[in-house]
Structure 1
Amino acid sequence: MQLNNRDRRILALLQQDCRISNADLAQKVGMSASACWRRVRAFEEAGIIARYGAVLNPDKVGLEFEAIVLVQLTRHDPDNLAELVRVIEMRPEVLECFATTGQADYHMHVLFADIATYNDFLENVLFRLPAVASAQTNVVLRKIKRAAVISP
């Protein structure tokens, strides 16, 4: 799907406030409400809009320990990797996980109530996976920019 400037404006406004009414959205981009609704619907059907949601403040919901975890694997065994991916996908504390190049095989962005619950995750989840050789934790000291949805 080719995006024009009006499409980009619609998408920008929806990302700023996904609760904006269709009438207000249409007015801001200079379209009729019905044409705007059809365009948004097309974005949803094309997968351009993956989902709608609210962005929460982690501190306000009791999630005060944030880190980037660099995970190194023992080896790239397909069965062990499948188990690692399955476990990571199930854990709501893991906000994002990327398979990467470089010294670490995976980079995970995690969010926990405190260091004790993070330590429990390390000991009872991550380090029990056969694929995991080690994990290096980089604690987030200050948030410079955040654009992620959080599951408290």
Structure 2
Amino acid sequence: MSNVELASRVGLTPPPCLRRVKRLEERGVIAGYRAVIDPAALGRGMQVIVSVEVAVTDVDSLRQFEATVAALDEVVEVRRVFGVPDYFLRVSVADADAYAVFSMTKLVTIPGVSRVISHLTMEVVKSEG
């Protein structure tokens, strides 16, 4: 959204609105800007939320697992969580067959992975984008 539109929405004139936005950027409140990509337009219309449990607990092994999954093109988000499971991944693939290949050839072959549970997305009801 343009600065003029933002200023109008919040009831300011454009110059003070821009100063406030710049101040929020400098303070790190606004951490950045991004483009929202439609996965279907890229041929990756199937979204899968994957819970992963790992059998290792040493820091080096966990960091290696994290680096490995983060480097996979199909993985668009990795979250380490408290409790069980250890991680949630958001995976974007073309279809169920592509996910099966990804899961069997890439994900379950990572050292330390002990359990994988896949949740195919029916519909995105709310997204941060």
What TM-score results when the alignment is normalised by the length of structure 1? 0.72
Task: Name 1:145's counterpart in structure 2.
Answer: 126
Deviations 1:29-78 (A, max 9, x none): 22232211111111112222222123233223321221111101112122
Aligned-CA RMSD value = 2.0
Cα distance in 2 between the residues matched to 1:33 and 1:143:
35
Q: How many residues align?
A: 129
Identify which of 7, 30, 39 aligns with 2:11.
30
| Counterpart residue identity of residue 120, structure 2 | V
Following superposition, which runs of at least 4 residues in structure 1 exceed 3 angstroms of deviation? none
Unpaired segments of 5 or more residues in structure 1?
A: 1-19
Which stretch shows the higher mean deviation, 127-136 or 23-32? 23-32
Cα distance in 1 between the residues matched to 2:38 and 2:82:
31
Unpaired segments of 5 or more residues in structure 2?
A: none
Residue aligned with 1:83, SS: helix
Pair 1:135 & 2:116 matched: yes
Identity across matched positions, percent: 32
Task: Name 2:39's counterpart in structure 1.
Answer: 58
Task: Name 2:28's counterpart in structure 1.
Answer: 47
Relative to structure 1, the CA distance from residue 142 to residue 25 in structure 2 (aligned partners, 3 Å threshold; closer, same or farther) is: closer
1:87 Cα deviation after fit: 1.9
What TM-score results when the alignment is normalised by the length of structure 2? 0.83
Identify which of 74, 84, 90 aligns with 2:65.
84
Deviations 1:63-113 (A, max 9, x none): 122111110111212222111111232234323222223431111121111
1:125 Cα deviation after fit: 2.4
Task: Name 1:3's counterpart in structure 2.
Answer: none
